[in-house]
Amino acid sequence: MRNRKWPGRLAISALVLAVGAAYADDRKHDDTDVKYQAGGSPLAGEEMHQNINPKAPPMTAREFQLGKDIYFQRCAGCHGVLRKGATGKPLTPDKTLANGTDYLKVFIKYGSPAGMPNWGTSGELTDEQVDLMARYIQQEPPTPPEYGIKEMEANWKVIVPPEQRPTKKENNLNLENLFSVTLRDAGEIALIDGDSKKIVSVLKTGYAVHISRMSASGRYLYVIGRDARINLVDLWMAKPDTVAEIKVGLEARSVETSKFKGYEDKYAIAGTYWPPQFVIMDGDTLKPQKIVSTRGMTVAPEEYHPEPRVASIVGSHYHPEFLVNAKETGKIMLVNYSDLKNLKTSTIDAARFLHDGGFDSTGRYFLVAANASDKVAVVDTKEGKLAGMVDVGKTPHPGRGANFVDPQNGQVWATGHLGDDSISLIGTDPAKHNDKAWKVVRTLKGQGGGSLFIKTHPKSKNLWVDTPLNPDAKVSQSIAVYDINNLDKGFEMLPIGEWAGLGEGAKRIVQPEYNKAGDEVWFSVWSAKDKESAIVVVDDKTRKLKAVIKDPRLITPTGKFNVYNTQHDVY
């Protein structure tokens, strides 16, 4: 087929439909969902072996390297590092060789009804790159290197040993109202004083910091980049700074610390996308102690998966346990850290593909989105078992979710969605409202799809929902806010991007975050690396602009984490 000339647009359309049918999933994806899942991977820069398949079309070493780079920048998030399938279908040679280069070129260029982006006609890839990728995915997939204790220790640094650190706080900062702000494309975080709105310091970190987490005591800040680099920051120092760091793999998203009484600050844990595993470390030095692989069987239909990525981790308040969520297998592991040499793990079958979530208002129940399954799993961390599986909207993405009292339904936890404009409110009070527990008790209509975070505060009557990935600039540059006591009224739209007073740029509004007092909400105004960004502070009671934080160092601000709220799971 390689040299065949297409007879016309009709033939191309027919082949597009055939390819779409061949690769069709049992659900539809919208463009926002797919592009979010297909984000770039730090593995693009890793040296890998070129596996020659004699049946595959020829590629030079340079072409193979270019194909690898494009694959990890565009495709690995959906199809997996080993191309065995994740939220997207498998692209291994046993499937791709049978289709041939021309068939695959059409698939890549025009996309498919199942959600494959039209990489060629959208202008993302040139015709030459489309041809390159059609040949690349017929080669044997290159395998990234593994990463064990030896590799971790080679990248482990204790900059200030525990015995040389302060014995008491040496600064005048109100640490409970300090914010750790991700400067995504700069590979940094900014520590911002929530009282003065001034930047305290900017610290070098890993690339595209995903989250910041607090130790149980509130002294240590743990920051993890997508390149799996962790920074341990001591907030007691005269000027808070990194005191230890480690690289725990090649790609990662999650870090957490031990919270159970008697284990405060004792351990930290990080989960990686590659290799598919998690590592438990000493909490005050990041010295790696125990690595556990997540490779194994999926939930029904019980198939082996070679790379279940660790998407999120939380620390239990009821037992010395970490809840580790393996994305592709849909398994939630309760890892007991009381005895690392005799590690005990309980496994809960939830649903594919586990992503992010948070606790209910009591801290007993953990709710986590299985985003590509359109479900939320509920774990009773006291009893150590699944409490419920809830069908929600399309591709839930709660961040940590939002807890509040619905006037008609009692205590609820809420999530927004990447794939539609709904906000699902799930009942979370089995003691007083058992008939409504672990069910969607109300659905709100939002501005649109593309939501990443939803937020409220125990002292607030407002519910804030962002939509930074919505394709409509008016929607992505604003925020929807609901009156919790009058949810049927619908949302008010606030033009946060306009309030920032910036020039050109995307100005996507992302992640509402409260201050400790619960009377201010902070929003990141996220533009490109070469454009001005800002943080906008809104008075929660009046919904009026309170402050705009601008600084040349605020490069691509995204996530913001208030120390007190993060330490105490307030959301």
Instruction: Give residue for tokens 């480690």.
Output: 246
Residue 206 and residue 246: Cα distance in Å, rounded? 10
Residue of 75, 133, 237, 281 marked active site: 75
Q: Report residue 152 as tokens.
A: 């971790």
Sequence-ordered alpha helix ranges (H) in 26-164: 31-37, 61-70, 76-79, 93-99, 101-110, 127-136, 149-154
If we measure between CA atoms, which residue out of 518, 550, 440, 444 comes closest to residue 488?
A: 444
Query: Residue 324 carries which DSSP code?
Result: E
Write the CA distances from 72 to 134, 540, 559, integer angstroms.
15, 41, 23
Tokens 């740029």 — which residue? 505
The one catalytic residue in 210, 355, 417, 457 is 355
Q: Report in angstroms the alpha-carbon separations of 111 from 5, 79, 82, 105.
A: 20, 14, 21, 10
Query: What span, in angstroms and rounded, lies between the C-alpha atoms of 160 and 362?
Result: 37
88 and 116 Cβ atoms separated by less than 8 Å: yes
Known catalytic membership, residue 116: yes
Residue 286 backbone phi and psi in degrees, to 5: 70, 15
Q: Which position among 78, 133, 237, 281 bears the catalytic label? A: 78
The catalytically annotated residue of 29, 59, 116, 237 is 116
Residue partners of 401: CB distance under 8 A and separation at least 6: 357, 358, 367, 413, 414, 415, 454, 571
List 210, 317, 397, 457, catalytic entry:
397
Active site residue 79: yes
152 carries an active-site annotation: no
CA distances from 49 to 53, 140, 144, 247 (A): 13, 10, 8, 22
Question: Catalytic: which of 79, 210, 305, 417?
Answer: 79
Catalytic annotation present for 210: no
Bridge partners of 267?
Answer: 282
Rounded to 10°, the helix 9-22/101-110 angle is 90
Q: Which of 452, 270, 464 is nearest to 371 (CA)?
A: 452
State the catalytic residues.
75, 78-79, 116, 355, 397
